[in-house]
Amino acid sequence: MKKLFPILLLFLFLVPFTFNLYAQGDPLLRLEIETKSDAATYKVESCGEAGLALFYETTLKQDVYKFWVFVLYNKFMQETWKKDVPIFDNMTYRKDLVKDNFLFVLFYNSDKRKSEQYNCQVLKINLTDGMYELFSGLLPENSQVVAFDTFNENMVVGLNVQEKYSALYTMNTLSKETKPLFNVEDFESQFVSLMEDTAKNSLFAIFNIYESRTVYYMLIKEFNADLSEINAFKLVPQDERKFNSAKLTTVSENEYMVIGTYDFVKKGTVSSNDYFSKTASGFYSAKIFGSSVVSAKYFNFLELENMTGYLRSKEYHQAKKKADKDEDEVDKYSVDFDLLLHDIVFRDSLYYFVAEAFYEEYHTVTSTYYDYYGHAVPVSYAVFDGYKYFNAFISCFDLDGNKIWDNGMEIFNILTFKLENRVSVLFEEDEIIMAYNREGKIGAKIIRGPDVVEGVEYYPLETTFVNDKVMEDTKSNMEYWYDNYFIAYGFQTIKNNSLVDGSKRTVFYINKVAFK
């Protein structure tokens, strides 16, 4: 097992207006786990008031199982319990969630089955005492897990099957039965998102459907408590547009808001090869009343006022210049971005929609080979370096889906091979704090609606020992914990010549951070 370093008592404050970060004597914690490299499989999940879960795969195997370690820490980062859990050795971690004082973790083997009876397992572990159950099931082969949630006594998985079709599967915790709830097989499709309406005790699933070059839409299915279908809605885009994504949230009983991204389609037709591209030209909002869908409202990125991160883009300035000259036909022009979406936040009768923009970064490698006659021939090819994040967008909508304001936060120096949400958002009265963890520092910005209260500032995370110097910080991220507390975590290589045991160490760290 991994060696635990002594825990550092740490309290970081973020002060409005002055916007400084400083330490205090009240004990909040930093945890360090010694590791050989950042290839270790540490996972962190905030569990609210129940604490903080850390879990990772070990090298210990027995028969057809490998062991994962699960640890729960309380709010003071003291270990509450620790469990070794056997998981089928052919399965890998895919998704996890915390609900009703339980941590659920989905493991899945997408490869074609050989002699195995099952290709997925779900761990349900009690956050109070660490007691757990394991559920084994069978999902379609060669599938991508898009969404994972629980609904009453069922665990629900949204899948893209072999890149062309989508499905919704359930695993019942009482009967132990795994079965398809809904399949889209007649047309090409992709699974989009899941949402539970706790007030009605119903479940919503959204699919993106491509029937032909001119017929495509978002299909929204609603299921009741016993998983019987009770509603189906088609969200059809306006001419020369297509929907890329969708998030759904409750407005009131039988009233819902859908917010997502859209892209333009030339001459109203699109091929199946181009349809499922995630590149977006703007946001849209649409309301569902009872069994009817209100036409969507569209917001071209060129119309947004405070998306500061893309102002350096040459393409943006060119498109904006053309649109300004032809205001009556602004939708002819666009600038496109790839976006990662957050769940919609409903607060004070307003909807907040957050997305993070990124692009694929490459570098060119040129080498030389010699042909039959001995002539030197240069050959160049592109090498993928990762996904480069450059901005977080936030838009505010009223109850009718009208955009009230927008704003943004610049993101620097995040280049990664793993796409996941990096920016955390905290609402404090009429102010919003947007923050992310990168290179051992917290970058944070305060906004008030469309106005900037404090621009992006960077504050270093404290380390365990005096004279610690962070040489490298990788795979860092942060997420909300509870109240105004967040956790910042990642891998660090630290040098400290004053330590007797060694001047250099590589650790997985977790810092508890408070914004005030």
Q: Catalogue all structural domains in the chain, each as residue range(s) with its CATH number.
A: 59-65+77-471 (2.130.10)
**Average of pLDDT values for 357-376?**
88
pLDDT over 50 (residue 28): no
Query: In terms of pLDDT, which residue wins out, 5 or 511?
Result: 511
Give, as one character, the DSSP assignment of residue 309: G
Query: In terms of pLDDT, which residue wins out, 253 or 335?
Result: 253
d(CA 449, CA 445): 12
pLDDT over 60 (residue 316): no
Q: Give the confidence band of 113 by pLDDT, cuts at 50, 70, 90.
A: low
Q: Give the confidence band of 306 by pLDDT, cuts at 50, 70, 90.
A: low
**Average of pLDDT values for 248-264?**
90
pLDDT over 70 (residue 86): yes
Q: Give the confidence band of 115 by pLDDT, cuts at 50, 70, 90.
A: low
Question: Which of 84-88, 121-125, 218-222, 503-507 is least confident?
Answer: 503-507
**Average of pLDDT values for 216-239?**
94
User: Which residues make beta-bridge pairs with 432?
Assistant: 427, 447
Residue 111 in 3-state DSSP?
coil
**Average of pLDDT values for 70-86?**
96
Report pLDDT for 318. Answer: 53
Give, as one character, the DSSP assignment of residue 337: B
**Average of pLDDT values for 13-25?**
36
pLDDT over 70 (residue 330): no
**Residue carrying structure tokens 């507390």:** 485
What pTM does this model have?
A: 0.87
Q: Give the confidence band of 480 by pLDDT, cuts at 50, 70, 90.
A: very high
pLDDT over 50 (residue 79): yes
Query: In terms of pLDDT, which residue wins out, 377 or 56?
Result: 56
Residues 6+ apart with CB under 8 A from 357: 309, 310, 337, 338, 339, 389, 390, 391, 392, 393
Report pLDDT for 112. Answer: 67
Q: Quick check: 315 and 335 in contact, CB under 8 A?
A: yes
pLDDT over 90 (residue 395): yes
